[in-house]
Structure 1
Amino acid sequence: MPGLPTPSPGVDYSSYHETDSSSHYDSLSPLEKLVTKFKLTGTSSPDTVQRMASHDSNPAGTTTTTTTAYRGADGSPRKGIGRLNVSDPARNNLVAFLAEFVGTFMFLFLAFAGTQVANRIATVPGRSADTLDPSILILISLSFGFSLLANVWAFYRISGGLFNPAVALALYLVGGITLVRAIVVAIAQILGGLAAAGLVSGLFPGPLRVSTSLSNGTSVAQGLFIEMFLTAELVFVIIMLAAEKHRSTHMAPVGIGIAFFVTQLTGMPNTGLSACRCGANTVTGVYLTGGSLNPARSFGPAVVTGQFPTYHWIYWLGPILGALLAAGFFVILKRLRYRECNPGPDWEDMEKLHPQQGPHRHHRDGLDDVERVDTIDARAA
């Protein structure tokens, strides 16, 4: 692997493919063991990797039994099952589809449920019907923000926890996912939004009151740009915290949830306490746009209620434009090599692995470098 120190001469690393002996392996330094493992990654079977892991957890050097979890009926390794030998894109896309469908459903179900409950609360006594209770806005915003936080955290290691076609588009544009994966998860997200809206409509009393719509004082053009800029803010946070790997990537769901909470406060989600004119129908309205930022979030309730305002398209075009804006800004930063502007702690981590390289090389994508640094630090302690 480029940049790693050269292993000790005279050590036959290929022998670890064939034997369970730990004598040579245990005599290596922690960094040489690291190089050995990465040398095996491209060619070894899953049980070879298991054998190497067992050496680390068994300093006494006793022989351990090779795992058979990844073997088929004939005893040969099963392709596409091993953690280090994924070779079945169709299976991976199926897993992503299921995860995004269930994750989007869980996210929007909790968010819609919180909105439905809040919309049953009357306005503050003494205020006009058009005056909104700020506590209701906070309740709905928290329902969306914390629901997204919890479910992104739960599904992050499965499919990435996107739950939004606009996010899928942005990640495709910046190279985070393939076009096929983006299409697959977008379909799953839309279906998940439909299922969530349908279940909330069936479980909770009264009409479904979670639809997004423009307030009486908000024009279609204003609504479009509000949706665009709020989506751009959310998507850029997602790209920088989740798509760009670094030491705090594991905390990305927290930042994403907070960002969504703030955008919901700005967009002011549906409170059902004022009315707006949508074509020939008067439906539950919102102040500003309803804070959609997500086509799946707006499409599901619209289908369930059968109410499509003439400007429903802004809840598709706005988030798409926001995704393009955020992705374009990120690409510009990437071309300008933004990592060199403020290296930060990740630069120090790369120093430990690649001391012979300049600062401009000490920012590499992927959490694997950070994990290797942590491993080296732990073994040296």
Structure 2
Amino acid sequence: MVKIASGSLGDSFSVGSLKAYLSEFIATLLFVFAGVGSAIAYSKLTADAALDPPGLVAVAVAHAFALASAPLSPASSSNSSQVLRASRLMELQQGMNAVEGVVMEIVITFALVYTVYATAADPKKGSIGTIAPIAIGFIVGANILAAGPFSGGSMNPARSFGPAVVSGDFSQNWIYWLGPLVGGGLAGLVYGDIFIGSYTAAPVSEDYA
């Protein structure tokens, strides 16, 4: 059974924790910049808020590269109308209701977190090097291709919340919190309980001497 460990309050403000916070902030910033930036750029180039197949592929590839690639050098600006049009990629598309949107986000977030576990967080497999970020980037791109025309393919509350803050449009934003939280939690439980289970590290080499 997966266990949740909790540390002390002091641990939250240790040097290591502060570095982890900064690392997560920078990584999320770059990811959202590349993803939303690609949507804004495509809208600006086409002067059309609708996302056609080539645009969907461009956005999916941008998100995939943002996760799998080295650091970016963001240097752009956009007005609020452009951000609003990009944020509409995270509102439900016509014909989708809220329940369907939540289910879609649960499924694709499950796929993402499951892939993270399988490639980067499974102690039985150990380190598999650069394969992990490439695989994670690919599953994000594939999920956006599959879910983009329906729920937008968020998989990450920060990906939806950031544009919503800038645009001031929080309509249906809860879908992109509930779906990823449930999907990610389910993936953790399934992979942790079924595949990792009660893992015990192998004895150190000295034990065999």
Counterpart CA distance in 2 for 1:331 and 1:97 is 24
Q: Percent identity between the aligned chains?
A: 31
Q: 1:115-162 CA distances to partner (integer Å, 9 max, x unpaired)?
A: 1111224399xxxx97x53111100111111111125xx6xxxxxxxx
Q: What stretches of structure 2 of length at least 5 have no aligned partner? A: 1-10
Letter in 2 for 1:230: I
Shift of 1:336: 5.9
Shift of 1:265: 0.6
Match in the other structure for 1:333: 194
Shift of 1:267: 1.3
Match in the other structure for 1:225: 103
Counterpart CA distance in 2 for 1:297 and 1:335 is 29
* Residues 120/321 of structure 1: CA separation in 2 closer, same or farther (3 Å cut): same
Q: How many residues align?
A: 186
CA contact (8 A) 1:241 1:249 kept: no
Q: What stretches of structure 1 of length at least 5 have no aligned partner? A: 1-86, 155-195, 269-286, 340-362, 370-381
TM-score relative to the length of structure 2: 0.78
Match in the other structure for 1:210: 86
Shift of 1:106: 1.5
Q: 1:192-247 CA distances to partner (integer Å, 9 max, x unpaired)?
A: xxxx9xx96xx125531221100110011000000001000000000111111425
Counterpart CA distance in 2 for 1:121 and 1:317 is 33
Higher RCO (CA 8 Å, separation ≥ 6 residues): 2
- Given the alignment of the two structures, is residue 137 of structure 1 paired with residue 56 of structure 2, yes or no? yes
* Residues 247/90 of structure 1: CA separation in 2 closer, same or farther (3 Å cut): closer
RMSD: 3.0
Q: Secondary structure at the match of 2:106?
A: helix
Aligned runs of 1:31-50 on 2, under 5 Å?
none
Match in the other structure for 2:4: none
Q: 1:261-291 CA distances to partner (integer Å, 9 max, x unpaired)?
A: 10111111xxxxxxxxxxxxxxxxxx31111
Shift of 1:104: 1.1
Shift of 1:332: 2.6
- Given the alignment of the two structures, is residue 294 of structure 1 paired with residue 156 of structure 2, yes or no? yes
* Residues 238/335 of structure 1: CA separation in 2 closer, same or farther (3 Å cut): closer
* Residues 88/117 of structure 1: CA separation in 2 closer, same or farther (3 Å cut): closer
Counterpart CA distance in 1 for 2:156 and 2:118 is 19
Shift of 1:88: 10
Letter in 2 for 1:308: F
Indicate which of 179, 182, 185 corresponds to 1:324: 185
Counterpart CA distance in 2 for 1:114 and 1:96 is 27
* Residues 298/247 of structure 1: CA separation in 2 closer, same or farther (3 Å cut): closer
Letter in 2 for 1:322: G
Match in the other structure for 1:234: 112
Letter in 2 for 1:95: K
CA contact (8 A) 1:264 1:291 kept: yes
Richer in helix (by share): 2
Counterpart CA distance in 2 for 1:312 and 1:240 is 29
- Given the alignment of the two structures, is residue 109 of structure 1 paired with residue 28 of structure 2, yes or no? no
Counterpart CA distance in 1 for 2:150 and 2:43 is 16
Displacement over 6 Å in runs of 4+: none
CA contact (8 A) 2:35 2:63 kept: yes
- Given the alignment of the two structures, is residue 147 of structure 1 paired with residue 147 of structure 2, yes or no? no
Q: Secondary structure at the match of 2:173?
A: coil
Counterpart CA distance in 2 for 1:112 and 1:299 is 11
Counterpart CA distance in 2 for 1:133 and 1:145 is 18
TM-score relative to the length of structure 1: 0.44
Letter in 2 for 1:148: L
Larger Rg computed on CA atoms: 1
CA contact (8 A) 1:292 1:298 kept: yes
Letter in 2 for 1:136: G
Counterpart CA distance in 2 for 1:247 and 1:122 is 43
* Residues 295/336 of structure 1: CA separation in 2 closer, same or farther (3 Å cut): closer
Greater CA drift, 315-324 or 241-250: 241-250
* Residues 322/267 of structure 1: CA separation in 2 closer, same or farther (3 Å cut): same
Letter in 2 for 1:229: V
Match in the other structure for 1:256: 136
Counterpart CA distance in 2 for 1:314 and 1:323 is 14
Counterpart CA distance in 2 for 1:98 and 1:308 is 26
CA contact (8 A) 1:115 1:143 kept: no
Q: 1:309-353 CA distances to partner (integer Å, 9 max, x unpaired)?
A: 1x221110100000111011112314667x9xxxxxxxxxxxxxx
